[in-house]
Amino acid sequence: MPGRSSYNPKSSLAKWLDTRLPLPRMIHDQFIVFQTPRNLNIWYTFGGILAFSLGVQILSGIVLAMHYVASAELAFDAIERIMRDVNYGWLIRSVHATGASMFFIAVYIHMLRGLYYGSYKAPRELLWIIGVLNYLLMMTIAFLGYVLPWSQTSFWGATVIINLFGAIPFIGTHITIWLQGDFAVGDITLNRFFALHYLLPFVLVGMVGLHIWALHLVRNNNPLGIDVTSEQDTIPFHPYYTTKDTFYVLVFAIVFAYFVFFAPDFFASPNNYEPADPLKTPPNIVPEWYFLPFYAMLRAIPDKLFGVMVMVGAIVTLFFVPWLDSSAIRSNRFRPLMKRCFWAFVMACVVLGYCGAQPADATMAGVPVVWVARLATLYYFAFFWLIMPVVGLIEVPIKLPASIAQSALAGPGGTRSHLPVRDAWSAILSTASRQSSIVAKATSARKRR
Ligand code: HEM
């Protein structure tokens, strides 16, 4: 919005660029002076962490693609060659494979944060919907990538998932053959999966651009879920949140590096080390951990078509969240009943994940896991379709603070939950300037002596 922009190009080059492609103006307005609620906590750094993860996946993926061969004959050996012969190939592959899991850890935290603080509510419905589309794209990209090493898990994972489409009445078999490009998963399937696995991350970059555009239009929600009412409630994005985001991206990178260097197979299945064999079905084939809750739902239902509908329904439900929640209050901080239901929902997802990892005939405290998964699935759907609309109507919320600034400045006894960034930043700056003036005085005294 040039009319309201405070950008003032100084050099003649900046002025020249500003009238032709005002990119510096956009960066200045949207990422430097951009007014952001002053109370964003650690959970608000996960958007930046996700962008970082996407960058890491694209960079490491491009290098891997330079050494990979998309052929059923050669793919498994190509991965072994990357691990053993390519310079730092082991590192790049480990970063990419572990990075996928780190990306999903971050996206689940990001989504739960959105659910907890009611960030999907008006005017952020479209922002949420674009987020769900990003999540769907991430799942597709991860599934396609998992097939590329052409191991037992790759082959059988692809076979199981593609065959789910076979449950669609009348056209199911045609869709399965169309997706495979053949009558069974094979060379042609691998080739198209590689092409799409390379393409879709760039589509995701575009979608993330839309996500951030939508965010900057409606601006951030915040842990209190109340709107910004005055200038006092906000601080500029730079240096406050650039510093905070960079710090937490570094913390995330340290955890990431721990897995890459000390536990590179932590998230992997041993079946990844066996080449694909269409004649040998592994006994307990499970998807990656981030798909387990949905896989548990699929297995909990005896009818294949109904199971697929429930699994797809679990994701489609997310699109409706902005209209399912009937409460006028956004943040669960002020919704005592909903807060409990939210944590029960998180538990249900963890239980579903656990059930998905167990063999189909296993038991949990004497109860068959399929039954535990059925109960957890029921709660999953009840949370969105029953609890969200009803609790909003019956619960008595806690009184909201008058403003973000009032809450942030209320002190430990108030609703303040952390040191506001501006205060922390000014404390650091004033300490730094005090120290530099002491050093300057000491140096000049030494010189005089
Ligand atoms: C590649 C995946 C994604 C990237 C890179 C991404 C990036 C971001 C960034 C940078 C922000 C602003 C900082 C923050 O609030 O953390 C943000 C906010 C947000 N994102 Fe995402 N996001 C992704 C996926 C998702 C998903 C899957 C959802 C939900 C289904 C989602 C929903 C939201 C919402 C509702 C906000 C606004 C939060 C608020 O203001 O309270 N995002 N996202």
Position 191 in a domain? yes
What share of the chain in percent tops pLDDT 90? Answer: 87
pLDDT at 419 (0 to 100): 45
- Which CATH number do you get for residue 381? 1.10.287
Do 181 and 261 fall into the same domain? yes
Do 236 and 310 fall into the same domain? no
| d(C-alpha 419, C-alpha 412), whole Å | 9
Do 265 and 304 fall into the same domain? no
| d(C-alpha 160, C-alpha 81), whole Å | 28
pLDDT at 434 (0 to 100): 57
Domain termination site, one of 235, 262, 285: 285
Position 441 in a domain? no
Do 79 and 223 fall into the same domain? yes
Do 306 and 325 fall into the same domain? yes
Smallest CA separation from ligand 1 atom 10, residue: 47
pLDDT at 428 (0 to 100): 53
Do 190 and 336 fall into the same domain? no
Do 261 and 394 fall into the same domain? no
pLDDT at 271 (0 to 100): 83
- Is the CB–ligand 1 distance for residue 244 below 6 Å? no
Centre of ligand 1 to C-alpha 223, Å, is: 14
Do 266 and 303 fall into the same domain? no
What average pLDDT score do residues 370-384 get?
98
Give me the chain's average pLDDT, please.
93
pLDDT in tens, 334-358: 999 999 999 999 999 999 999 999 9
pLDDT at 418 (0 to 100): 45
Q: Provide the number of structural domains found in the chain.
A: 2
> Which range of residues forms the domain containing residue 273?
32-285
DSSP string, 99-137: HHHHHHHHHHHHHHHHHHTTTTSTT-HHHHHHHHHHHHH
pLDDT > 60? residue 205: yes
Do 99 and 247 fall into the same domain? yes
Position 21 in a domain? no
pLDDT at 2 (0 to 100): 42
| d(C-alpha 105, C-alpha 112), whole Å | 11
Position 376 in a domain? yes
Angle at which helix 46-67 crosses helix 89-116, to 10 degrees, equals 150
Ligand 1 atom at minimal distance to the Cα of residue 219: 40
| d(C-alpha 322, C-alpha 129), whole Å | 9
Position 18 in a domain? no
**CA 41, 44, 48, 49 torsion-angle sign:** positive
* Band (116; pLDDT cuts 50, 70, 90): very high
Domain termination site, one of 285, 312, 340: 285
- Which CATH number do you get for residue 122? 1.20.810.10
Do 184 and 328 fall into the same domain? no
Position 61 in a domain? yes
Residue in 117, 133, 134 to alter for ligand 1 test, most ligand atoms within 8 A of Cβ: 134
The two three-digit tokens of residue 151, written as one number: 């191991």
Do 272 and 296 fall into the same domain? no
